[in-house]
Amino acid sequence: MKAKVYVRLKKSIADPQGTAIKGMLNKIGFSKVEDVRIGKLIELDLGDVAKEDAEVQLNEMCKKLLANTVIEDYRFEIEG
Amino acid sequence: MKAKVYVRLKKSIADPQGTAIKGMLNKIGFSKVEDVRIGKLIELDLGDVAKEDAEVQLNEMCKKLLANTVIEDYRFEIEG
């Protein structure tokens, strides 16, 4: 069972990395770009688990390790 | 116009960060996890551009700045 986890900074949290990339894009010719936010895409191969178990496990993984839920939101997609 | 860009290491490129996270997940109770790969999720507000222009611009942005196409693949989704 494969899954993708998307971890993003909460809207209220400043994203200096995104701001730097926005500034650079503006400078190299993409002057209309208004905002950039950087998040993480985590692809997992969960091995041999049922879909319901995968969902429970992914929530646990995100809360324990993959996301810092104080400043980040996460969502995931289970494939197949 | 908003867009999401997903940047991932090519399959053939080793991902030590993913390997470290896999090892940690295995250690904290998710023993069946077989593989973890870490990528980037970049969310952009492109400002006021037509969809066709957005597509051209995103390809350029990825090639010039957002992805290192020697070792990374990218794809993007344009919203709305």
Give every CB contact of residue B8 below 8 A, 6+ residues apart in sequence.
A41, A43, B37, B39, B40, B72, B73, B74
pLDDT tens-digit readout, B10-61: 999 999 999 999 999 999 999 999 999 999 999 999 999 999 999 999 999 9
Q: Is A38's CB within 8 Å of B37's CB?
A: no
Structure letter (DSSP) for residue A48: S
On the question of pLDDT at B6 being above 90, the answer is: yes
Chain B: residue nearest A30 by CA?
A: B57
CATH of the domain at B56: 3.30.1280.10
Q: What is the mean pLDDT of chain A?
A: 97
Structural domain including B66 reads 2-79
Identify the pLDDT of residue B16.
97
Mean pLDDT confidence for B4-11: 97
Q: Is B34's CB within 8 Å of A45's CB?
A: yes
Residue written as token pair 């104080």: A70
Interface of B with A (CB under 8 A): 6-8, 18, 21, 24-25, 28, 30, 32-49, 57, 60-61, 64-66
The number of distinct structural domains making up chain B is: 1
Q: Is the dihedral of CA B56, B59, B63, B65 positive or negative?
A: positive
Averaged over successive runs of 10 residues, the pLDDT of chain A (80 residues) comes to 97 97 98 97 96 96 97 94
Identify the pLDDT of residue B53.
95
